[in-house]
Amino acid sequence: ELRETITALLAPQATELSGKHIVITAGPTREAIDPVRYLSNHSSGKMGFALAAAAQRMGAQVTLIAGPVNLATPAGVLRVDVVSAAEMHTAALQAVENADIFIGCAAVADYRPEQVADNKIKKSNDGMQITLVRNPDILADVAALKKAPFTIGFAAETNDVAHYAQDKLARKKLNMIAANDVSDTSIGFNSEDNAMVLFWREANNTVQQQALARASKSAIAQQILQQAAKLLSNNQ
Amino acid sequence: ELRETITALLAPQATELSGKHIVITAGPTREAIDPVRYLSNHSSGKMGFALAAAAQRMGAQVTLIAGPVNLATPAGVLRVDVVSAAEMHTAALQAVENADIFIGCAAVADYRPEQVADNKIKKSNDGMQITLVRNPDILADVAALKKAPFTIGFAAETNDVAHYAQDKLARKKLNMIAANDVSDTSIGFNSEDNAMVLFWREANNTVQQQALARASKSAIAQQILQQAAKLLSNNQ
C-alpha cells in the first residue's frame, strides 16, 4: 500500500500540462577566453532543474538544456549538456521545434570574448584588455519564431527588479517573466529557496503580476508552471 | 579484526611527513565583474584535494585553502574557503607562517577586472571592453618569504610544457614544480587521472626531473609528496 502511494506520488500527474512538450534551459554558460580561462555567470542550475522535475511530475515531456552544473538529471527528463551560449542557442532552437512551452531559466552569458586563443595566453606584467561581443539572444530568438512556443523568461536583477523585468517582457515579446532579486543572498543563485514576482501580458495587453512568496525552488517551480498552464489554456 | 585493519589503513601513517604542517591551495578562483558575472579558470580542485587527503594519510597536519569547488573536505583536514585570488593570497600567507611545505595547486586567476560594478551591468547592443589588472602572485610571494616553506608549484600548460615549467621553477624560486599538459583531456581538469613531470633544483643548482606515469590523482598526489619529503630531508 505504501509502495502504491509512493508510486502514485512519483508518477506524472494528469494536469493541464499532460503531454505538453516543455523545453527548459538551466545553469550558466561558459565563454572561453583560452583553453584555461573563461567568463561565466553565477548560477547553480537548481531553479531550472526544479522546473524540469516539476514539469515532468505534472505530466509534461521535458527537454532540459543544461550548462555546466553539478546536478543529477531529474527522472524522466531528456537532458542535453552544453557549455557556451552559442551551443545553448543551437540546442534550444532545435528543441523548441514542436514545443508548447519554452522556459529560458539559464544564466546565459550576454557576451563572449571576440577571439578565443588556441593556447593558454601567457601573462605579462601589464594589464590585459578583453574585447567582448554580444552573444545571440536565445529567449528573443525563440519568442520571435513564427510558431513560437509560450515563452517564459527569467530576470535576475540586483536593483530595479520590477522595472527591468517588465521592460524585458515587452522588448523580447515574452509571454511571461519570472523576476527575482539576486542581491538577496537568502534566495537565488546557490540557495535552496527562491521568491519571485511573475509578470505576464493579458489579451487586452495589460500587464498583470503575481508575487510568489519565499519557498523551496521546487514549490516555486510548480507555481510558475501552474500559472503558465492557465495562461496557455486561455490562449488556446 | 577487519575494523582494526580498516582503522589502521585510514589512520595517518608514520612517514617523513609526520607532524609536518602542509598548506595546499586548490580549485579555481573567481574574479567578479559585477554581482552576476565573473572570470574564472577551469579547475575541479580534485588534484589539490587528493594532495590534502594523501598528506593527511602520510601523517601531516594539513590546511587546505579552497576556491569554489563541489568537493567534500578530506577527513582530518582544516579547510578554508575563499573565492577570489586576493582572498586566497591573504589566506595562504597567513597559513604558511609555520608551514613546512606549501603546495600551490589552485588555478589562480592571473588577472581580475580593474573595476567591480556594484550592480549588474546592463547589456547594450555594442561590444564591451574589460580592463584586467594583475593579481598578486601567491606562489612567488610565499617562496620569497624570509622563512619560506618548501614551495611546490603547478604548471598547467597547453604547449611547451617542460619549457614553461622550468622557467616558472626558476623565476618564482620554487623548490619543485609539477607540470602537466592540460590539452590532453584524458588527464587534468575534471578528469580522475593525471600524469605529470616533476622538476626540482638540486643543491648543485642542476635541474632534475621525474616523470609520473598516468595514474589516479590520489596515486600521483602520494608520489609528489614522497618526492617532496625526500628533498625536504636532504635540505635539512
Q: Has residue A194 got a pLDDT over 90?
A: no
Q: What's the per-residue H, E or C state across B151-193?
A: EEEEEEECCCHHHHHHHHHHHCCCCEEEEEECCCCCCCCCCCE
pLDDT band at A7; cut points 50, 70, 90:
low
Which of the following is catalytic: A41, A135, A180, A194? Answer: A41
Q: Has residue A187 got a pLDDT over 80?
A: no
CA B198: distance to chain centroid? 14
- Distance (Å, rounded) from C-alpha B147 to C-alpha B102? 12
By the CB < 8 Å criterion, does A71 face chain B?
A: no
Nearest by CB to residue B35, choosing from A35, A134, A182, is: A182
Whole-number mean pLDDT of chain A? Answer: 90
Q: Give B125's DSSP letter.
A: S
- Distance (Å, rounded) from C-alpha A12 to C-alpha A5? 13
Chain A stretch 88-117, residues whose beta carbon is closer than 8 A to a beta carbon of chain B: 107, 109-111, 114
CB-CB neighbors (< 8 A) of A125 in chain B: 134
Q: How far is A216 from chain B (nearest CA, A)?
A: 21
Whole-number mean pLDDT of chain B? Answer: 90
Q: Please check whether residue B38 is in contact with residue B31, taking contact to mean a CB–CB distance below 8 angstroms.
A: yes
Q: Has residue B13 got a pLDDT over 70?
A: no
Those residues with Cβ within 8 angstroms of residue A8's Cβ, 6 or more apart along the chain or in another chain? none
pLDDT band at A8; cut points 50, 70, 90:
low
State the burial class of residue A78 (Cβ atoms within 10 Å of its Cβ: 0-12, 13-18, 19+).
middle
Tell if the CB–CB gap between A39 and B39 is shorter than 8 Å.
yes
- Global pTM value: 0.84
Respond yes or no: is residue B41 known to be catalytic.
Answer: yes
Q: Give A223's DSSP letter.
A: H
Q: What is the pLDDT of residues B187-236, one digit of tens each?
A: 656 677 888 999 998 878 889 999 999 999 999 999 999 999 999 888 76
Q: Which of B31, B33, B34, B37 should be substituted to probe chain A, the one whose Cβ sees the most A Cβ atoms within 10 Å?
A: B37
Q: What is the CA radius of gyration of chain A?
A: 19
Q: Please check whether residue B200 is in contact with residue B151, taking contact to mean a CB–CB distance below 8 angstroms.
A: no
Which of helix, strand or coil describes residue A17?
A: coil
Predicted pLDDT at A10? 61
Q: Give A174's DSSP letter.
A: -
Which of helix, strand or coil describes residue B50?
A: helix
Q: Has residue A159 got a pLDDT over 70?
A: yes
Predicted pLDDT at A154? 94
Q: How many CB pairs below 8 A link A and B? A: 103
Q: Which of A216, A159, A221 is nearest to A191 (CA)?
A: A216
Those residues with Cβ within 8 angstroms of residue B163's Cβ, 6 or more apart along the chain or in another chain? none
pLDDT band at B18; cut points 50, 70, 90:
very high
Q: What is the pLDDT of residues A23-48, one digit of tens each?
A: 999 999 999 998 889 999 998 999 99
Predicted pLDDT at A140? 95
* Chain A, nearest residue to B189 by Cα: A36
Q: Please check whether residue A74 is in contact with residue A53, taking contact to mean a CB–CB distance below 8 angstroms.
A: yes
Pair type for strands B37-41 and A37-41: antiparallel
Chain A stretch 43-62, residues whose beta carbon is closer than 8 A to a beta carbon of chain B: none
Q: What is the largest CA-CA distance in chain B?
A: 70
Residue with cell 552559442: A86
Q: What is the pLDDT of residues B138-163, one digit of tens each?
A: 999 999 999 999 999 998 887 888 89
Tell if the CB–CB gap between A158 and B35 is shorter than 8 Å.
yes
Pair type for strands B101-104 and B150-157: parallel
More confident residue, B206 or A64: A64
Nearest by CB to residue B41, choosing from A36, A128, A134, is: A36
Nearest by CB to residue B39, choosing from A37, A157, A183, is: A37
Those residues with Cβ within 8 angstroms of residue A69's Cβ, 6 or more apart along the chain or in another chain? A26, A27, A28, A43, A44, A45, A49
Q: What is the pLDDT of residues A89-142, one digit of tens each?
A: 999 999 999 999 999 999 999 999 998 888 877 777 678 888 999 999 999 999
pLDDT band at A193; cut points 50, 70, 90:
confident
Which residues on adjacent β-strands are paired with residue A58?
none
Least-confidence region, from A81-90, A92-101, A190-199, B160-169:
A190-199
Q: What is the ipTM of this complex?
A: 0.81
Q: Give B222's DSSP letter.
A: H
